[in-house]
Amino acid sequence: MSNVAGKAYGMNVVTPVRPRWTWLNRFIFMVARVFPGTLSGLLGLSLIHFARWVIIRRDQWPQRGQPKQVLANDTMLFCSNFNGTWDQYIDAFADGIPNGLDLFWYCSTKYPNSIPITPFKSYIRANQIDTGYYYNATPGSGQRDIKLALQLAAALRAVGPDGDDGTLAAAFDRVLAENQGCLGTPGYGPVASRDTAIADLHRCAMVRARWGRDGSGPPPVEVVQSAPAPGGGGAVLESIQAAPRADASASQAGEVRATVEALIKGRTRRSAARRQDR
């Protein structure tokens, strides 16, 4: 389960709406479609891939494999993909269209308004549903990267394959000069949490130490007993590089199992000793 795929973050927010106010929410959405200027504050935000609000009536939820539910409220589902961190996105939304947010969530139960920002963030966080599976076809590219790549591709296609070397060289120079801003190198965005990055390194080191680099089977017993100790990122990388290749023999698998059982029994004895000391 992850809300992050490369540079993109997937957000799903489900808020309850009293049935008697659903018609008003639909009317607000109709006005926003007729007058798109209400969302003009978001058009200049290159970090947002898309944002969508959908109203789901309480009798529209699927009932596959479970008894029919009797719900008291309708639901408004907000889906969005964006680049950057969660806080950056909420701040940009609240700064870009504070009045629009207040209109869209006007009928949602206990909506606190977008300003001040702290209650609004708490409301979104309380109603957010984590993403079960999040696929991103271009994990190393943000929205702006994709637009620039499409612009560059169109410029290259406009250059015909016919012509001599001089003509093609002149066309190349022209395309290069006109698309200087489209030549960035895509890559993963900055790490939002250093603790999370270090935890990933520790997890990778532990998996390689226990199951080998290729994951084909358990390594020798001494590798399991000397798992990498917590420390900085450098120590973790050293343990990853020093991890030997796995040996999937049955005898070693039995030794690993015996070692793990011995460690568990040792922990149980230590816990019992602590209880006696108390």
Any domain includes 244: yes
Domain range for 172: 143-182
Lowest mean pLDDT among 63-67, 123-127, 208-212, 245-249: 245-249
Any domain includes 91: yes
Residue 166 and residue 54 share a domain: no
How much is the pLDDT for 124? 92
Residue 214 and residue 158 share a domain: no
| 248 and 218 Cβ atoms separated by less than 8 Å | yes
Last residue of a domain, one of 127, 151, 168: 127
Q: 82: which strand partners?
A: 9, 48
Residue 221 and residue 171 share a domain: no
Residue 145: alpha-carbon gap to chain centroid: 18
**Predicted confidence (pLDDT) at residue 195 exceeds the cutoff of 90:** no
**Predicted confidence (pLDDT) at residue 246 exceeds the cutoff of 50:** no
**Predicted confidence (pLDDT) at residue 255 exceeds the cutoff of 60:** no
Any domain includes 103: yes
How much is the pLDDT for 213? 65
Let me know how many helices (H) and strands (E) the chain has, helices first.
11, 4
| 147 and 43 Cβ atoms separated by less than 8 Å | no
161/226: higher pLDDT: 161
How much is the pLDDT for 206? 76
> Structural domain tally of the chain?
3
Any domain includes 187: no
How much is the pLDDT for 12? 93
What is the band of 278 on the pLDDT scale with cuts at 50, 70, 90? low
Residue 227 and residue 175 share a domain: no
How much is the pLDDT for 16? 92
Lowest mean pLDDT among 117-121, 185-189, 217-221: 217-221
Any domain includes 260: yes
162/171 Cα distance (integer angstroms): 11
How much is the pLDDT for 230? 46
Residue 47 and residue 116 share a domain: yes
> In this predicted model, what pLDDT tens digit does every residue of 10-33 receive, in sequence order?
899 999 999 998 899 889 888 888
11/51 Cα distance (integer angstroms): 9
Residue 269 and residue 208 share a domain: yes
Buried b (16+ CB within 10 A) or exposed e, 83-122: bbbbeebbebbbebbbebbbbbbebbeebebbeebeebbe
Any domain includes 251: yes
**Predicted confidence (pLDDT) at residue 229 exceeds the cutoff of 60:** no
> In this predicted model, what pLDDT tens digit does every residue of 72-117 receive, in sequence order?
889 999 998 888 788 888 888 888 778 888 888 888 999 998 888 8
**To the nearest whole percent, how much of the chain has pLDDT over 70?**
68
Q: Could you tell me the pTM of the whole model?
A: 0.59
Lowest mean pLDDT among 98-107, 167-176, 231-240: 231-240
What is the band of 148 on the pLDDT scale with cuts at 50, 70, 90? confident
Residue 164 and residue 250 share a domain: no
Lowest mean pLDDT among 36-40, 85-89, 225-229, 274-278: 225-229
How much is the pLDDT for 240? 41
208/49: higher pLDDT: 49
Any domain includes 67: yes
Any domain includes 188: no
Residue 18's domain is classified under what CATH number?
Answer: 3.30.70.100
Residue 94 and residue 38 share a domain: yes
Quote the Cα angle for 4-10-16, to 5°.
135
